[in-house]
Chains A and B, each alone.
Chain A
Amino acid sequence: AQKVTQAQTEISVVEKEDVTLDCVYETRDTTYYLFWYKQPPSGELVFLIRRNSFDEQNEISGRYSWNFQKSTSSFNFTITASQVVDSAVYFCALSEAGAGGTSYGKLTFGQGTILTVHP
């Protein structure tokens, strides 16, 4: 069975600090997809990134970057120069793929990390 673990329940930083959110996953599939979502206080889930298991290239998008290491089953998320607007709950999620590499679509979420950025 697939499992996602976000060991950090809460993180508190001061604005402009860099912060890394850890995500470790378990799956028996060789083809799978990893996601990060942001959930601000308003409650909606905002998509941040989708990465398939064959693409281990790190990705940077503005102040956000992701480090995917298949050898350690980790998909960590770093926010550089954090801002107050980054305060939210962040979820890592996993979706296993069936034959042909097409994801079944069911997302297994971690427990989430509450990030608070203080001015």
Chain B
Amino acid sequence: EAGVAQSPRYKIIEKRQSVAFWCNPISGHATLYWYQQILGQGPKLLIQFQNNGVVDDSQLPKDRFSAERLKGVDSTLKIQPAKLEDSAVYLCASSFGQGGYGYTFGSGTRLTVV
């Protein structure tokens, strides 16, 4: 079974630029999550989708971050404009429904803002 695919693997941008990350979940997984992991910390949920609807985006900095899940499958996370403190690994995960079964993480995108 293919895992959660993410791209790009690495990205370096200057502050105030924009950037987008892409995630393709495991086939059949209705729930998709984006987490932010700052160096030395545990991952923190940014947004959770159930199919193409948002379940939880309470910790998403909506003034600069946006996310969408096209047709309930692939998802993109965008940052515009980026700040230095956005440097982190952005992890995508997916699971069956909302039960947490089969919770699988992708390899992440490491973003460096200079």
A positions within 8 Å CB-CB of B: 4, 33, 35, 37, 42-45, 47, 50, 91, 93, 95, 98, 102-112
Contacts and interface: CB of A to CB of B under 8 A. Distances in A.
A112 B42 contact: yes
Contact of B105 (A44, A102, A108): A44
Interface of B: 31, 33, 35, 40-45, 48, 55-56, 89, 91, 93, 95, 97-100, 103-108, 110
B100 A91 contact: no
B41 A105 contact: no
A115 to B, nearest CB: 15
Contacts of A105: 31, 33, 48, 55, 95, 98-100, 103
Nearest to B105: A45
A102 B86 CA distance: 32
Nearest to A45: B105
A26 to B, nearest CB: 15
B103 A47 contact: yes
A50 B100 contact: yes
A46 B50 CA distance: 23
B79 to A, nearest CB: 19
Contacts of A106: 33, 45, 48, 56
A104 B105 CA distance: 16
Nearest to A112: B42
A103 B100 contact: yes
Given A44-B107, A102-B99, 16 more contacts: A4-B42, A44-B108, A45-B91, A50-B100, A98-B98, A103-B100, A105-B33, A105-B99, A105-B103, A107-B35, A107-B43, A108-B45, A109-B42, A109-B43, A109-B44, A112-B42
